[in-house]
């Protein structure tokens, strides 16, 4: 039986991965107390104790604006830690799946970004994530890196929960309407990741061999594109209890909402490579949002934010 190690067990993606991977083998889930990514020098010893066949790294430093003043912390967690995991995996014959981000691109160009396009991160967070990708590819591990974008779920801190909370606290919401991307539900991302791993093989050796043969960077997000403003409008339409805020929803430009870290103007990812190599196709972003809204008790979960 394949032994999976999922990091970031308390995060929105980690939570969903634990559920989806259980059908494929034994799942060990860890958070910072069990595996502190901020101390990458301790990672090999912890992995020796846990002995995973496949590491699925869903943990990351995601405080995009704070990373501008904590670049060293972001680099340890997002670059040095996954590189240490990759080096351990290579030495032990294990496989690794790691999640990255659209922030590795500048966002200045139009059209969907392909994996081979030039990267030019414009934030400390983006630079740390790109360094993590590079470290994994350079160490030669049987590693698959999945770049995704605009992740949300019914738990954790994300755009959907924030919008619904603010709708109950404010009379007007001003949302950026000139940044483009593909909102991605954490559950569809986790299920697609599990489907990808299932296609690699049924036992640890075949998974590692296949991951080594297919190692590289892949884009994986929901299909289609929208702006933050249109995404907010869709959120309120999907959750009718908060529809009253629609009249107070106002589009603004990026320049009207300054942040410490630069955001990509265009975060749309071309996912054709993962479709052709693994047969993995994600639903349209609005279809995934509708699935979330249809879940029993979802409104209650989101309302507790």
Catalytic sites, residue numbers: 125
**Residues linked to residue 5 through DSSP beta bridges, in sequence order:** 28, 55
CA 83 to chain centroid:
17
**CA torsion through residues 157, 267, 55, 200, sign:** positive
Q: Residue 144 has what DSSP assignment?
A: E
Per the CB < 8 A criterion, the answer to whether 85 and 35 are in contact is no
Per the CB < 8 A criterion, the answer to whether 219 and 147 are in contact is yes
**Residues linked to residue 2 through DSSP beta bridges, in sequence order:** 25
- Picking from 153, 101, 88, the residue whose alpha carbon sits closest to that of residue 302 is 153
Phi, psi dihedral angles at 73 (to 5 degrees): -65, -45
Per the CB < 8 A criterion, the answer to whether 24 and 4 are in contact is yes
Report d(CA 285, CA 182) in Å as an integer.
Answer: 6
CA distances, 194 to each of 17, 28, 64, 252 (Å): 8, 15, 27, 38
Report d(CA 219, CA 227) in Å as an integer.
Answer: 19
Per the CB < 8 A criterion, the answer to whether 129 and 104 are in contact is yes
Q: How many CA atoms lie within 13 A of 6 on its CB side?
A: 24
């Amino acid at each position: 039986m394949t032994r999976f190690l999922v990091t970031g067990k308390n995060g929105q993606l980690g939570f969903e991965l634990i559920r989806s991977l259980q059908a494929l083998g034994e799942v060990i889930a860890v958070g910072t107390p069990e595996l502190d990514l901020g101390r990458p020098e301790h990672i090999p010893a912890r992995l020796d104790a846990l002995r995973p066949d496949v590491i699925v790294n869903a943990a990351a430093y995601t405080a995009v604006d704070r990373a501008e003043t904590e670049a060293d912390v972001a680099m340890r967690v997002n670059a040095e830690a996954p590189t240490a995991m990759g080096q351990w995996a290579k030495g032990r014959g294990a496989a690794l799946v790691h999640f990255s981000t659209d922030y590795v691109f500048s966002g200045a160009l139009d059209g969907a970004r392909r994996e081979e396009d030039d990267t030019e991160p414009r934030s400390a967070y983006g630079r740390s994530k790109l360094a993590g990708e590079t470290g994994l590819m350079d160490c030669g591990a049987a590693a698959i890196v999945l770049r995704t974008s605009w992740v949300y779920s019914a738990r954790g801190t994300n755009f959907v929960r924030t919008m619904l909370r603010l709708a109950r606290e404010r009379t007007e919401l001003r949302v950026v309407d000139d940044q483009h991307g593909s909102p991605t539900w954490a559950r569809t991302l986790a299920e697609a990741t599990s489907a990808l791993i299932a296609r690699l093989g049924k036992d640890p050796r075949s998974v590692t061999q296949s991951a080594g043969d297919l190692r590289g960077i892949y884009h994986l997000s929901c299909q289609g594109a929208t702006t933050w403003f249109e995404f907010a409008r869709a959120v309120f339409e999907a959750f009718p209890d908060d529809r009253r805020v629609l009249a107070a929803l106002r589009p603004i430009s990026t320049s009207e909402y300054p942040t410490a870290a630069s955001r990509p103007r265009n975060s749309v990812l071309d996912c054709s490579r993962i479709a052709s190599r693994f047969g993995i196709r994600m639903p349209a972003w609005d279809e995934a949002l509708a699935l979330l809204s249809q879940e029993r008790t979802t409104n209650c979960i989101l309302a507790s934010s």
